[in-house]
Amino acid sequence: MPEDSIAHIDFDELERKAISQPLVKDIYTADPSAHVFNGKIYIYPSHDMDAGDAFDDLGSHFAMEDYHVLSMNDPADTEATDHGIALHVKDVPWAEKQMWAPDAAEKDGTFYLFFPAKGYDGIFRIGVATSSSPVGPFAAQPEAIKGSFSIDPAIFKDDDGHYYMYFGGIWGGQLQRWRNGSFNGTEASSPFAHLPNDDETALCAKVARLSDDFLEFAETPKDVVILDEDGRSLLQGDNDRRFFEASWMHKYKGKYYFSYSTGDTHFICYAVGDNPYGPFTYKGVVLNPVVGWTNHHSIAEFNGKWYLFYHDSSLSKGVTHLRSVKVTELTHNDDGTIQTINPYKE
Ligand code: FUB
């Protein structure tokens, strides 16, 4: 639900209708990336705060400075444990501000936090920080990942042991500025400059296999192509279905499910493919719009059931940049499609 339509919301009624409640209530959290490490659920969210920046189409109001890690023993629990500050922007040499949606991975007992942030040059890049604990504290590498750009990293481990990063976001996420391989800095204040026209192929999320040490890309990032039911690439003007931000990948019965936010139309959608690179064929909506402008999620399996981790702005009574992480069960139908989730009961 976009910010301009919240004026008439009765938030008490909304809370009654909500299918789930915030997992933590003493801080605002968003963009939950959930993983199961050593039999326990760890959630890597953004830590929302109000820095006083005005709402704009570049997302300047998302002025986050640090990360907290949350954990849960079971997704049926109504609360998550907040493990405190895991990484602060002041401890990241290359980053100036805007610690946006992170993700994490574990390899050989080391935990890696992947995060986007804006550098002192105003360009979003993706960094990595390491810890011996899933909840940090994490120590950042001195530089961002070489060749990284834009926002919203999501890490997927395939069954063959290869790890992939999916990433990217348009408008304030700057993906459109990298169409020719280097950052196009002209018209710096417009989120719309450099986007394809509505009748052109939509901008794609990116995917790259990670190097063995997780500190670099093992290859040049490739396009995550999404096709329609006729095998044609989605168009930029197909706002209800085209990629905007919030990449996620999960594997179900041998198929690869790429899910993402459509941004200005506020859906979490999904597309299915036969390998981690795609192409992926659009299948439908995972999550309908939530209160707040952004919609961002992750999907994880725990003890044979699947869960959708998501956020909304109900706790802050509709403030778009003050969101709260939630969880609900997700169902795959027998034919592999996903049942669409309505975040509020009718
Ligand atoms: O939290 C800041 C940004 O808002 C994220 O990076 C986007 O995915 C959107 O949720």
Contact between residue 22 and residue 315 where contact means Cβ atoms under 8 Å apart: yes
Instruction: State the DSSP H helix or E strand holding residue 13, giving kind and residue range, or none if neither.
Output: helix 11-17
* Site of tokens 């995917």: 207
* Cis bond upstream, residue 93 (ω within 30): no
Tell me, yes or no, whether 336 lies in a domain.
no
- pLDDT value, residue 77: 95
Tell me, yes or no, whether 339 lies in a domain.
no
Tell me, yes or no, whether 340 lies in a domain.
no
Tell me, yes or no, whether 344 lies in a domain.
no
Distance CA 318, CA 321 (A): 9
Buried/exposed 94-130: b ≥16 CB within 10 Å, e otherwise: bbebbbbbbbbbbeeeebbbbbbbbbeeeebbbbbbb
Q: Is the CB of 323 under 6 A from ligand 1?
A: no
Q: Is the CB of 30 under 6 A from ligand 1?
A: yes
Tell me, yes or no, whether 311 lies in a domain.
yes
Q: Would you say residue 5 has pLDDT above 70?
A: no
- 210: tokens are 């990670």
How far, rounded to the nearest angstrom, does the alpha carbon of residue 34 sit from its chain's CA centroid? Answer: 10
Q: Is the CB of 151 under 6 A from ligand 1?
A: yes
**Nearest protein CA to atom 9 of ligand 1, as residue:** 294
- pLDDT value, residue 186: 80
Percent residues over pLDDT 70 in the chain: 98
Tens of pLDDT along 43-96?
999 999 999 888 888 898 999 999 999 999 999 999 999 999 999 999 999 999
Contact between residue 80 and residue 22 where contact means Cβ atoms under 8 Å apart: no
Least confident range from 50-59, 114-123, 201-210: namely 50-59
CATH of the domain at 79: 2.115.10.20
Tens of pLDDT along 223-259?
999 999 999 999 999 999 999 999 999 999 999 999 9
Tell me, yes or no, whether 253 lies in a domain.
yes
Closest ligand 1 atom, residue 295 Cα: 10
Tell me, yes or no, whether 154 lies in a domain.
yes
Q: Is the CB of 293 under 6 A from ligand 1?
A: no
For residue 210, list its beta bridge partners. 217
Q: What is the tally of structural domains in the chain?
A: 1
**Structural domain boundaries enclosing 266:** 3-330
Closest ligand 1 atom, residue 261 Cα: 8
Tell me, yes or no, whether 75 lies in a domain.
yes
